[in-house]
A and B are shown apart, each in its own frame.
Chain A
């Protein structure tokens, strides 16, 4: 019997990845709670402002993926004004966005996800960072990482008007196009990025896939959750970051369906739990069944892995090859273990997200060159003047950390009256909670707590999702500070574990 514990709202989290683990009387895990901070008052902050401000304003929400908010806001503002930007404007936006993806995915792999593999998951946290990677693999790799980031920043600056926080998207398109000289620079940088992405996949192959212990860790049950997946696809069901329909695939690989962004309300509902301010999005058509996975539970995941799972393939040739290798390898391994239950093409192993991210890196680089060599890309026609009365609109892009939805309502002058955002990571709040619970259960049994491994295991699960709760650089200072409080059946703390805080 678990004692009922009331969690006082004042113990709700501010600024930490705070985890509460409640044990039952046998000393086994009864329940886990993962609490994260929430930024408040965004809607109130936006109401009364002109909708054109949103691409500039929302890209200040977050210092990690401003480009994603800029794009979602620009698309939502297009929708509010019922205006379709000219093809060149859409292509330039997607080109900027592809370059941003190269920067973001590169940084994640080399500074966050990769170090667990390069240094080993048991290395001290102080060594599992980009410095450790440079020391172990050599300066040349560090130089390439900085170069990849620099090129990504450069493209964002050329098309977006300034570094990191682009400012050129307006309702109906862009304020400016690019010159032939700029196009040539962009193309050249993109070709380098393709080589770098191929190099990164090769590195992953050598480091991880050819190491049976790592492969076992990826395939193992600890980091596996059989949830639904969400991601954006083009008209041929291939991964797209900038535009398309949102597709949902069930744990057994069956497609639940797909929807245009403005139908999101028919598909996504939000579950409120008394112990956290943040809501848990889930699939309306499946329903909320609690913190469990499987086909009957509406919990879904939106990550690089999810995007590959919902798609039928990649839209560029080399990324498609990498995609095929990914599924050939992992479905085969999966089949050896669970073939009777899940024979289809879906990978559920959260650590495989790191591999999926590198395949997306290659796709983003290839798409970068594809768009940079598009005959239309230097066109002067980059803006359609809005003529209709503004009303309401939804804009959706794939942020690196999940599907990002902006929904705006305005009056007839284009002044915002209501705003709703579902940010990338929020989609993954429930799956991350599943991972926390599973890690706790595997390391706490009958009162025996493996304290050493617990934080590491939770942290590795986090890294796969790269959670960005609150969408602010500030709210989670440091390298994901974690505080885990383990309480006995009476609610008394037995153990408090901390990392990076």
Chain B
């Protein structure tokens, strides 16, 4: 299969439609099997799924901002019938790629440290745009960058998302143990959550559009 990663910056979308009323089928999960010879590809065949990942270490202050964003998104989605799964991870590289396997679209929220913008600045990033120093958790210093991991996964025939959106929030403090965010970073969480919801809404419009095509 061909892996395409959407790199374009999308304009804000009209908010006429809510997240309800989607036509997508509910997610079906097959029974897990670990039997040897079982193909990885068959393990997660729940295509159609949208996955939102809060990435980072929730114990390291602003490093956990991705978790806070994902939590807010999850709260907003309560009651919505949209087939969106929210997960919280502290892994990068191959492990992140493995988690993305089987879903059609993914949105990742993470902390970044560019040192060039004030804490709390929201970035919408593309995988290939990320120099290593920007990349936060998307890279793992112990195996591969997410971009390399996704290419490797695609080469191996693992079903990976057609679209990966990344939101990053400039962090202030990522080296001190704490479960709270610094004020400017905390202040950015609602805006970041809205941006994630906006993308979810866009997915929904794309899907409903294709129903009529």
**Are A and B bound to each other?**
yes
Chain A interface residues (CB < 8 Å from chain B): 14-16, 37-42, 44-45, 57, 60-61, 63-64, 66, 107-108, 111-112, 129-131, 134-135, 139, 142-143, 146-147, 149-151, 153-154, 164-165, 185, 188-189, 191-192, 466, 468, 470, 472-481, 500-501
Chain A residues within 8 Å of B143, by CB: 107-108, 111-112, 130
Q: Which of A63, A107, A139 contacts B90 (CB 8 A)?
A: A63
Do B59 and A45 touch (CB < 8 A)? yes
Interface residues on B, range: 35 or more
Chain A residues within 8 Å of B153, by CB: 146
Count of chain A to chain B residue pairs whose CB atoms are closer than 8 Å in the complex: 160
Measured in the bound complex, the distance between the Cα atoms of B142 and A470 in whole Å is 13
* CB-nearest residue of chain B to A126: B148
Contact of A477 with B178 at beta-carbon distance under 8 Å, contacts A60-B59, A139-B155 already known? no
Q: Does residue B145 face the partner (Cβ distance < 8 Å to A)?
A: yes
Chain A residues within 8 Å of B212, by CB: none
Q: Does residue B70 face the partner (Cβ distance < 8 Å to A)?
A: no
Chain B interface residues (CB < 8 Å from chain A): 34-36, 40, 43, 56-60, 63, 89-95, 98, 111, 113, 131-137, 139-145, 148-149, 151-153, 155-158, 174-178
Chain B residues within 8 Å of A153, by CB: 98
Do A470 and B175 touch (CB < 8 A)? yes
Do B35 and A185 touch (CB < 8 A)? yes
Chain A residues within 8 Å of B63, by CB: 472, 474
Measured in the bound complex, the distance between the Cα atoms of B50 and A31 in whole Å is 53
Do B144 and A129 touch (CB < 8 A)? yes
Measured in the bound complex, the distance between the Cα atoms of B82 and A55 in whole Å is 35
Do A189 and B36 touch (CB < 8 A)? yes
Chain B residues within 8 Å of A57, by CB: 59
Taking A57-B59, A474-B63 as given, write out 4 further A-B residue pairs in contact, using a Cβ cutoff of 8 Å, ordered by the A residue number: A139-B157, A189-B36, A472-B63, A475-B175
Do A63 and B91 touch (CB < 8 A)? yes
Contact of A474 with B57 at beta-carbon distance under 8 Å, contacts A41-B178, A479-B139 already known? yes
Do A154 and B34 touch (CB < 8 A)? yes
Q: Which of B36, B40, B131, B148 contacts A501 (CB 8 A)?
A: B131
Do A477 and B142 touch (CB < 8 A)? no
Measured in the bound complex, the distance between the Cα atoms of B153 and A154 in whole Å is 19
Q: Which of A16, A40, A474, A501 contacts B137 (CB 8 A)?
A: A474
Chain B residues within 8 Å of A37, by CB: 175
- Can you name 10 A-B pairs with beta carbons within 8 Å? A16-B133, A39-B177, A45-B59, A111-B144, A135-B155, A150-B34, A153-B98, A478-B133, A478-B141, A479-B144
Q: Which of A41, A44, A150 contacts B40 (CB 8 A)?
A: A150
Q: From residue B99, how far is it (CB to closest CB) to chain A in Å?
A: 9
